[in-house]
Amino acid sequence: MMYDYKEFDYPYNVVRIANECWEMYKDGTISQAGEHGDLMASGWMISTEFYKKIKQIGYEEDKYKHMAETLMNDVDEHNEYLYDKYYEPSETNEEDE
C-alpha cells in the first residue's frame, strides 16, 4: 500500500513519511517481541513512529491526526488479514477436556 499525496490535503513530506512508516511495518524494521519471535508491529506502534518522524521535521502532530489514524487502521487491518490467512489454531485433543 502506498499513500498518494494527491489523496490527502497534507504536505508531500507528511505523506512520504506515512509511506516510509508503512514500508518499515512491511519489512519488519519495526516489530514487537513475541513469545515465539518477533511479531508484526501494531497500528499503534506505526502511528507512534509516524508522529515521531513528523515532529522531528517540525510538523505539529495534531494537524495530521487523520493521517496517523489512517495508517494505524490500515496496519491493524493488514495484521488481521495476515492472522486470518496464516494462523493455524493448535490442535486440541477433545478427550483431554
Q: pLDDT 10s digit of each residue in the chain, 97 long?
A: 689 888 888 999 999 999 999 999 988 888 776 665 567 889 999 999 999 999 999 999 999 999 999 999 999 999 888 888 877 666 665 555 5
- Cα torsion angle, 18, 22, 25, 29, sign: negative
pTM score: 0.80
- CA angle, corner 24, sides to 21 and 27, nearest 5? 150
Q: What is the largest CA-CA distance in the chain?
A: 61
Per the CB < 8 A criterion, the answer to whether 43 and 1 are in contact is no
Please report whether residue 91 resides in a domain. no
Question: What is the residue range of 31's domain?
Answer: 5-86
Please give the tally of structural domains in the chain. 1
Please report whether residue 60 resides in a domain. yes
Please report whether residue 95 resides in a domain. no
Please report whether residue 13 resides in a domain. yes
